[in-house]
Amino acid sequence: MLLIVGYCSCSEESLSLSGIYTGYWAETRFQYTFSLNNEFEFVTEGHFGNTTTHGKYTTIDSFLLLQPYTDWAMNHGVLKNRLRLIFDVDCIRDFDNNFYCKNIELLNEMSERNYVMQDSIEHRLLELEEVKEIINKYPEYSKYDPKHPKFQYDGIVLVEKIELHLFLLRKSNEESNRLFRPFIYFQDQKYLVDISGNTIFKHHSRMDSLSYVDTLFAELKK
């Protein structure tokens, strides 16, 4: 099951928010409260500490932009000053793909759908011929690392209004005394996935450009 978030061009006046949106990640509860006068309150409880931040917000199309009165929470990476409105449900989403919803049942549903989506894409990327070739360059990787190479999800990148999900081919190594060298080549492998377009792209850092790689899922071909 794939989660596809649509883009909507709506007037700023029609998107004044009201309500409480709650999310959970990194052992922390995050709560955004929006009022009709374009003010917000952001509260954290848990691993990131118990904090409260106030500020103003505005909406542009499907984007929700936040300007806190104090930057500390944003500097720590917990307050997301750019969010995406999801129009068919009572949820918002940041660009790390964390969800914040008006009730816990909906939050659990959205989070589960997102987990299934990411897991499906990671398995698909590992099937790419060029990825197999990279991994096969080091057939004895197990002597350096007890785990297989894997893709690390690194959030959402916006390109010409299209949301692309970024996946990085990474080694998996939890012991500092292990050798890393056979996996250095992996760190240059960045793939961007357009879910709605069912397409996989490769990102080229030097040119900051994309090249087509393959279809994401064959069963979605038109």
- Residue-wise pLDDT tens digits, 138-148: 655 555 554 56
CA distances, 22 to each of 32, 94, 102, 182 (Å): 6, 12, 6, 42
What is the average pLDDT value for the chain, to the nearest integer?
82
What pLDDT shows up at residue 189?
Answer: 83
Percentage of residues in the chain with pLDDT exceeding 70? 78
* Rounded Cα gap, residues 2 and 94, in angstroms: 17
Q: Please determine, for residue 201, whether its predicted confidence score (pLDDT) is greater than 90.
A: yes
* Rounded Cα gap, residues 92 and 99, in angstroms: 6
Work out the average pLDDT over 90-112.
Answer: 95
Which tokens go with 28? 């922390």
For the question of whether the overall pTM of this predicted structure is more than 0.85, the answer is no
Domains and CATH numbers, the chain: 12-102 (2.40.128), 127-220 (no CATH)
What pLDDT shows up at residue 18?
Answer: 85
Higher pLDDT, 206 or 101: 101
